[in-house]
């Protein structure tokens, strides 16, 4: 083990995930969990997020992303391991 408590995931979400406040709510949830990274809309109508931090908190955020906020409908979730980028907070891109 590297001794680092951080891990990172890249998440691709499909469904009704744009126009429902998904990014805004994801940022609130990430900040509440103290998970760093970013979230952005994709041209194909999906949402992409990079989440990093304490493994348990990242897993909690992943669980939230699978559901999304009220009004969203997540049809597909693709989670991949990613490199820790060293973000100091969570931002909307």
User: Is 32 in a helix, a strand, or coil?
Assistant: helix
**pLDDT band at 53; cut points 50, 70, 90:** very high
**Alpha carbon distance 63, 1 (integer Å):** 25
Q: What is the mean pLDDT of residues 33-55?
A: 98
Residues marked active site are found at: 23, 41
The model carries a pTM of 0.92
- Provide the pLDDT for residue 3: 45
- The single residue listed with the structure tokens 């669980």 is 63
Report which of 39, 63, 52 is spatially closest to residue 88, judged by C-alpha positions.
52
Q: CA dist 6 to 11, 22, 46, Å?
A: 16, 24, 26
- Provide the pLDDT for residue 40: 98
Report which of 55, 71, 73, 65 is spatially closest to residue 16, judged by C-alpha positions.
73
Q: What is the mean pLDDT of residues 33-49?
A: 98
- Provide the pLDDT for residue 4: 54
Question: Domain 17-74, what fold?
Answer: Alpha-Beta Plaits (3.30.70)
**Alpha carbon distance 47, 18 (integer Å):** 7
Q: To the nearest whole number, what is the mean pLDDT of the chain? A: 94
């Amino acid at each position: 083990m590297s001794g680092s408590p951080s891990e990172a995931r890249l998440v691709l979400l499909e469904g009704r995930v744009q126009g429902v406040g998904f990014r805004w709510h994801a940022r609130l949830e990430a900040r509440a969990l103290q998970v760093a990274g970013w979230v952005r809309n994709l041209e194909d109508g999906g949402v992409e997020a990079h989440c990093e931090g304490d493994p348990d908190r990242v897993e909690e955020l992943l669980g939230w992303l699978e559901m999304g906020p009220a009004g969203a409908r997540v049809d597909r979730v693709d989670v991949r391991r990613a490199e820790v980028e060293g973000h100091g907070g969570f931002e909307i891109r």
